[in-house]
Structure 1
Amino acid sequence: MQSYKIVNDPIYGFISVPRGIFMDILDHPWFQRLRRISQLGCSHLVYPGAVHTRFHHVMGAFHLMQKALQVLEAKGTDISEEEKKAACLAILLHDLGHGPFSHALEGHLLPFSHEEITYALIQELDKEMNGELEMALSICRGQHPRNFLNQLVASQLDMDRMDYLSRDSFYTGVAEGVISYDRITLMLNTHNDNLVLEEKGIYSLEKFLTARKLMYWQVYLHKTAMAAEKMLLSIIRRLKELIKTGHEPEICPLLADILKNGDLYKTDRNWISVFTKLDDINVLYSIKNLTQSKDKVCRELALRFLNRKLFKVQLVDEPICSERVLKAVEVTAEKLGLSKDEADFFVIHGSESNTAYRINRDEIHILKKDGSILPYSQFPNQIVSSGKVEKHYFMGIEYF
């Protein structure tokens, strides 16, 4: 029997997965759940090909981690077998805590970030696997004493970002997201146990940073995908309100449990057995049931979501004034025959922002040809801005 399993991937070709603990992780129900968690939330409603999952992504990031460690070793970085195993396990498990529709519902089902959920799940898995995930957990948390291992999992130049840009670009068909992941990987090095990029890889780095900036506004924060995600959130908010007032909407029992007890789960871990069974299918099943709901708000939102009759979105430079919001609520209430409180679920406003490159923490450091180290922000003739871009949105059943 081979000592590893081969997985065929459309981005990288063949991915080798060693047998033993790696296959134990892959075969675990909690990991298999990632096959049913969409990578890009509702983006498939804009880009029909974007139906890939968190499972696809973590497998790709795992492959890039293997390659990066090989490159660093070949350049003289001493990495023990235990450290290599832990780094690969960390990247394989780094998204284990994502819930249905990934970031779209994060923080709205449970009062935790997906990172906090990931750490909790790894701790539970570590008990099952006799402590073999202890170092992997420290790397996920950014607490390993050899910082380059932490940086390979989570930094401004990590295997996570390199895979999701490559993969999301491939599945959406958005060519602006294409990056030179192979060249960037070959240009990696370490200095005093910190991750650095050799100077000759600077143009590949700038293409990577530019691609991420473009992908945010063209894919991740696309206004139509945002509209679908806000509709999804409106459904969840309405369900919470109904459950709180004693109603029992006809939705998946797992989702009902989470919505009813989410805040209570702050103080115990009883949520783990429920959350690890929850995926996109449970939410979609619930939304399909809601198309027959007696509650007009749920029924209307569910029908619009399933049939892609999404909110109309306007992006503006300034915050939305309260008078405009109140007027939109009044018009919506009249058109749909709802009370103003009910119409509020159909009028959404807020803001989104993105920073292409952060200079206040996690700087990418360049290893110059003379052996000196320079943060990218101080590199001459840099083309990527570190400024924050913020956009305000206003959405509803029509343009107001």
Structure 2
Amino acid sequence: MEYRDEKLPEEKVFKDPVHRYIHVRDKVIWDVIGTREFQRLRRIKQLGTTYLVFHGAEHSRFHHSLGVYEIVRRIIDDGFSGRREWNDDERLVTLCAALLHDLGHGPFSHAFEKVFDLDHELFTQQILLGDTEVNAVLKRVGTEFPQKVADVIGKTYPDKLVVSLISSQIDADRMDYLQRDAYFTGVSYGHFDMERILRVMRPTEEQAVIKYSGMHAVEDYIMSRYQMYWQVYFHPVSRSAEVILTKILHRAKQLYEASYIFKFEPFHFKSFFDRTFELEDYISLDESILLTYFQMWMKEVDPILSDLCYRFINRKLFQHTEFNPATEYRKIGELEQLFKEAGIDPAYYLVADSSSDLPYDFYRPGEESERLPIYLQMATGELSELSRSSDIVDAISGKRRTDHKLYFPEDILEQGKEGNPLYKQILDMLKG
């Protein structure tokens, strides 16, 4: 029997709070889960700094990756298998792409990417194709198999239906993280009827579509996503923690470039500061390493690095205020000048941050970031774009919502306002 078709002697299961059980019978999938690169995902939180707001949000990318795999396995094995529109030869590559789609995430994911100008999807593909344990397992399926999995994740795979299951406006990735993140944060927004959606999902040549009878379940899913983004993912306190995390890394980089003598040398970061890092440097990083540095850097002589690390470790976060860059751009300049005069570095203690989301969009030819819409399969067999049938979805289609916040250390300003009138002036401007 070929390796790609090999089954485990007995099915393995993972107990899961969202899907109850994650089922693994394929030897390839079991072997991939056991690789060091996949096990590393246990040490990368799914929601980054959100645990500082929702204390239950300690779940990892490992949890989520297994969940996405399980949803895709159910779609294929229980829904698509045997249908003429689905090619069963694509089963294994689809399952592997689902399992490995987040393999390249770095510690605290998006904040880390922002500082070092990285792309986790590119790193996912590099891990799949590099000298790694994951690559060795995938190569046993076939020499071209790692490239196939990488192409699915890179959205260049020729079978568009396979890509749509992993990355689209209604994919297994979103269906898992909405429910999983809602469960671990303790909110109700992310719940929707996934069972119904899976029952009415149908394969077509281009993408998975939804039977018309399942439209209301899809409406619920889209509204769940909308609420989760604004109530959880873009929570202003979580963003404050991310701002501080980003500034810690910026400060450490600036000090390194200025030949500052660290008490605790940033050995794990040097290659990133110099832009000489290799794949192994990236794989070796996880959140436990960053937190260790932050703990040690609280004792640094540099007051900014020390203070920022203390704030992050002990959750002494920045306060925030609403900010409209279109009408208040002059206010930023005035505040920066006042911060400097007060002896507070605005580069680290006055931060404008924006969050933006587009809950659903339909096909807009020629526009940047075109999105394939969700299609409903009508009783006649014809496909209809979702917002044409749903008044709820039509009301939010193409409407991008953006939120701007200005972050600052209210505690420093409050403590010093009696001795320094500039502090009070700054506070009045920020709160006015």
Q: Give the TM-score taking structure 2 as reference length.
A: 0.85
2:419 alignment partner in structure 1: none
* 2:348 matched residue in structure 1: 345
Q: Is the 8 A contact 1:251 1:285 kept in 2?
A: no
* Residue aligned with 2:12, SS: strand
- What is aligned with 1:366? 376
Which stretch shows the higher mean deviation, 350-359 or 119-128?
A: 119-128
Indicate whether 1:178 and 2:178 are aligned: no
Percentage identity across aligned positions? Answer: 28
Aligned with residue 396 of structure 2, among 385, 390, 395: 385
1: CA distance, partners of 2:23 / 2:297: 43
> Is 2:178 aligned against 1:165?
yes
Q: Is contact 1:196-1:364 (8 Å) kept?
A: yes
Structure 2 vs 1, CA of residues 324 and 167 (structure 1 numbering), >3 Å: closer, same or farther? same
- The equivalent of 2:41 in structure 1 is 34
Native 8 Å contact 1:251 1:287 kept in 2: no
Q: Which amino acid aligns with 2:54?
A: Y
Give the Cα–Cα distance (whole angstroms) in 2 for the partners of residues 303 and 380 of structure 1.
49
TM-aligned CA deviation for residue 20 of structure 1: 2.2
**1:366 positional shift:** 0.9
With the length of structure 1 as denominator, give the TM-score of the two structures.
0.91
Please state whether the residue corresponding to 1:239 is helix, strand or coil. Answer: helix
Displacement of 1:195 after TM fit? 1.4
Q: SS of the residue aligned with 2:316? A: coil
- 1:352 deviates by 1.5
Are 1:128 and 2:136 an aligned pair? yes
Q: From the superposition, tell whether residues 240 and 144 of structure 1 become closer, same or farther in structure 2 (CA, over 3 Å).
A: same
Q: CA RMSD in A?
A: 2.1
Give the SS at the match of 1:203.
helix
The one-letter amino acid paired with 1:308 is R
The 1:41/1:346 distance shift into structure 2, 3 A limit, reads same
Q: Match of 1:375? A: 385
Deviation at 1:273, TM superposition (A): 0.7
Q: 1:85 to 1:74 in 2, by over 3 A?
A: closer
**Which one-letter code corresponds to 2:358 in the other structure?**
T
| Residue 276 of structure 1 pairs with residue 283 of structure 2 | yes
Could you tell me whether the CA contact under 8 Å between 2:266 and 2:293 is conserved in 1?
A: no
Any idea what the Cα deviations from partners look like across 1:129-148, whole Å, max 9, x if unmatched? 32332322222122222211
Return closer, same or farther for 1:78/1:355 CA change in 2, 3 Å cut-off: closer
Assess, with a 3 A threshold, how the Cα gap between structure 1 residues 192 and 21 changes in structure 2: closer, same or farther: closer
**Equivalent position SS for 2:296:** helix
- For 1:25, the equivalent position in structure 2 comes to 32
Partner residue of 1:268?
Answer: none
CA contact (8 A) 1:319 1:350 kept: no
Q: Deviations over 1:278-335 (max 9, x none)?
A: 0111111111111101100001111111111111112344447344334444555566
For residue 397 of structure 1, the aligned residue among 392, 405, 409 is 409
Aligned-residue offset at 1:68: 0.7
- The one of 103, 113, 123 aligned to 2:119: 113
- Alignment gaps of 5+ in structure 2: 1-7, 365-370, 411-426
Give the superposition deviation at 1:86. 0.6
Contact 1:121 1:272 in 2 (8 A): yes
Question: Does 1:52 find its partner at 2:59?
Answer: yes
Q: Aligned pairs, how many?
A: 389
Give SS of 2:348's match.
helix
Give unpaired runs (5+ residues) of structure 1: 266-270
Counterpart of 1:300 in 2: which secondary structure?
A: helix
Q: Deviations over 1:97-147 (max 9, x none)?
A: 1000122322323x3211111111111247523233232222212222221
Counting only pairs closer than 5 Å after superposition, residues 213-232 of structure 1 correspond to structure 2 as 213-232=226-245
Aligned amino acid, residue 344 of structure 1: A
Q: Give per-residue Cα distances to partners, 1:50-88, cap 9 Å, x unaligned.
A: 110000000011100001112432572454454111100
Residues 237-272 of structure 1, C-alpha deviations (whole Å, 9 max, x = no match): 11111111112434574532243223x45xxxxx21
SS in 2 for 1:133: helix
Contact 2:104 2:120 survives alignment (8 Å): yes
SS state at 1:175 partner? coil
